A and B are shown apart, each in its own frame.
Chain A
Amino acid sequence: MDVVPPALARLIEDLHRLPGIGRKTATRLALHILRRPAAEARDLARDLVDLHGAIHLCRNCFAFSEKDPCVICGDPGRDPALVCVVEEPADLMAIEKTGAFKGQYHLLHGVLSPMDGIGPEEIRIGALLSRVKKGTVAEVLIATSSTVPGEATAAYLISRLQGMQVKVTRLACGIPMGMDIKYADDVTLARAIESRMDTGKP
């Protein structure tokens, strides 16, 4: 005999499909929703239904947005000649949080991962190349992660952008702020030395 009511079981199954949510967590969340007032559950359901209807991809940078172009691409204070290439929306948010970048973005929505069947045609590399070919972009800042797939994606982008009339830069890689040098790993330290900065005239 199944002791879980079917409606609750369905919600547990739905929540369990979300990334990082195991069956126990899904059950806890479902029971929490059930214990809260019905109005809260209705609001949650409405927000979920509205999500796909309201949010689209910006046709310029492929960020999730309710407007097209998105808030960043539509901002006249942003420099359209400087384009930062990121893997995912979460990376865009992390860079925006710094307040240090005043250009526009290009979201790949993934990285090159042959073992998962993801090649150049599966992520938005073609759209980036078309954007650069239009001639309005002066610099492409590649801000993919420094993992193996992120670096390989950066290497592929650099090779494809070579020969185009555009400056290609890569996010610097080195010692995190506040870290003692003797605790840095060899690879990071070597990269930090390779990409050392000129502090001015002697």
Chain B
Amino acid sequence: MESCSTLAIVLEVKEFGESDKIITFYSEDRGKLCGIAKGARRSLKRFVNKLELFSVLELLYTNSRSSSLVMIDQAELISSLPLLRQNYNRYVAAALIAESTLHWTREHDAEPALYELLAWSLNYLTDPRHPPSWGVILFLTRLYTLVGYDLQLDGCVQCGTLLPTLSPYHFYNSRQGFVCSACRRRLQSSVQDPAMPLATGTVKILQKAKILPLVKLNRLKFTQNAESEALILLHGYGKNLLQRDSHSWAFLAGYSKDHKG
């Protein structure tokens, strides 16, 4: 059986049986993988304090011939990001990022840029200067692009009219982008979902969030209105595409209760 070594971020930990753990992780070169760590709940040497949520690890695992579950043989802790467990609001934001990664990725489908984004986003959440919800916005905006569901924020998805001619901005989840007033009138019968109006400031900051390199992304600062609109937009957009909701949205600080449903 092939033995592999990879950098990985733990997305989900489940107890299994008396002493094992089932770990879902996102690896740098193999994408999302699910593995079993035998004896991990009792181990005081190999796995203690390592197979924890959000930990960055160097994992040694063996592929199984009969199952999609890999066998985790060894783990070295690179970073445990302690602030994510010492602050409830940051913990919730990190959980939402992990849950979204679980929902939007397939096993054995490697995307190094997504690994980089995930690592960057969790690190961003450990900086006390950044509100946790900003980390969620930046992560989701780029996640949707990486998984092939790019938010179309440059112009009308029907006629191609470019910003800023398009103002006021009405985003439609079903069309994955803006629809201008003329096209809206034309498509009235086929556009069923309600429009999500966005302020110019929100559109501009989301455009920047999509294209800025990761090293410059932490310079972005959201106004209260941009933060609120972006969260509603990203939540509704993902929910509409996946046809399922992420539980963690219900607990995210700074997100209006009216939209959590």
Contact = CB atoms under 8 A, between A and B. Distances in A.
A186 to B, nearest CB: 7
A185 B96 contact: no
Interface stretch (B201-209, B219-227, B246-254): B246-254
A187 interface: yes
Given A148-B54, A152-B91, A187 B86 contact: no
B44 A155 contact: no
Interface string A179-195: 10001011110000000
B258 to A, nearest CB: 17
Interface string A110-127: 001111110100000000
Contacts of A99: none
Given A114-B251, A115-B248, A148 B48 contact: no
Interface residues of B, number: 32
Nearest to B90: A152
Contacts of A185: 48-50, 77
A20 to B, nearest CB: 5
Nearest to A117: B247
Contacts of A113: 95
B18 A20 contact: yes
B111 interface: no
B53 A156 contact: no
A155 B247 contact: no
Interface in B67-116: 77, 80, 82, 84-88, 91-92, 95-96, 98-99
Contacts of B52: 147-148
B49 A188 contact: yes
Interface string B14-39: 00111000000000000000000000
A176 B85 CA distance: 22
Nearest to A118: B247
Given A119-B251, A151-B85, A152-B84, 11 more contacts: A114-B91, A114-B99, A114-B251, A115-B246, A148-B54, A148-B91, A152-B87, A152-B88, A159-B88, A183-B45, A187-B49
Interface of B: 12-13, 16-18, 44-45, 48-50, 52-54, 77, 80, 82, 84-88, 91-92, 95-96, 98-99, 246-248, 250-251
Interface of A: 20, 112-117, 119, 146-149, 151-152, 155-156, 159, 176, 179, 183, 185-188
